[in-house]
Amino acid sequence: GAISSTHPIKKKSIKLKDKTFFATRFEFGSFKMGEDLISHGCTPRKSLTLEYPLKMSEKYFPAFIHGYFDGDGCAHVDKNNKAFSISILGTPSFLNSVKERLNKYKIETSEIKNDGSKAFNIRILRGGTIAFFNLIYKKSKDSYLLDRKHDKFVKIYDVKSRKDGKG
């Protein structure tokens, strides 16, 4: 690929409370790439340290929040396909900036909350789930989609459409 890494791609399971999540990991050993990423604000444990990139043009917000959501967001549909939720993790200052920008797209969020872990989160309120889906996926190329999350959004949209009598 583009970085010419020969390291293997590793898969592992992560237990969090009573749930198991699956993660994929790869490593590369390029000091230059590491320095470049750090110079652009990539830091270890970004969910606990990241600040919003103030120099970023607002026109890139949909792509930015899409990428961030793929890394530190959650779309959940319950097993009965009746309830759904969308949340984004981060630092309070980062989430405040995200809330302000989502508000410009008429997407309401909850207040910033902490569930007892080190990270904070906001939830997209029910009326904003479809608007958020459209914001992050409308102009995305299929090759940029994280299928697992996109598929949950499609399921959420189907649930909402049925509830609203649109499906």
Section 13-33 average pLDDT: 76
**Taking residues 25-38, what's their average pLDDT?**
78
Query: Residue 72 pLDDT > 80, yes or no?
Result: yes
φ/ψ of 11, rounded to 5, equals -115, 145
CA angle 92, 98, 104 (to 5 degrees): 140
- In the prediction, which pLDDT does 165 show? 47
| SS3 (DSSP) at 148 | helix
pLDDT of residue 88: 93
State mean pLDDT over 32-61.
80
pLDDT in tens, 90-117: 989 999 999 999 999 999 999 999 877 7
In the 8-state DSSP scheme, what is residue 48?
Answer: H
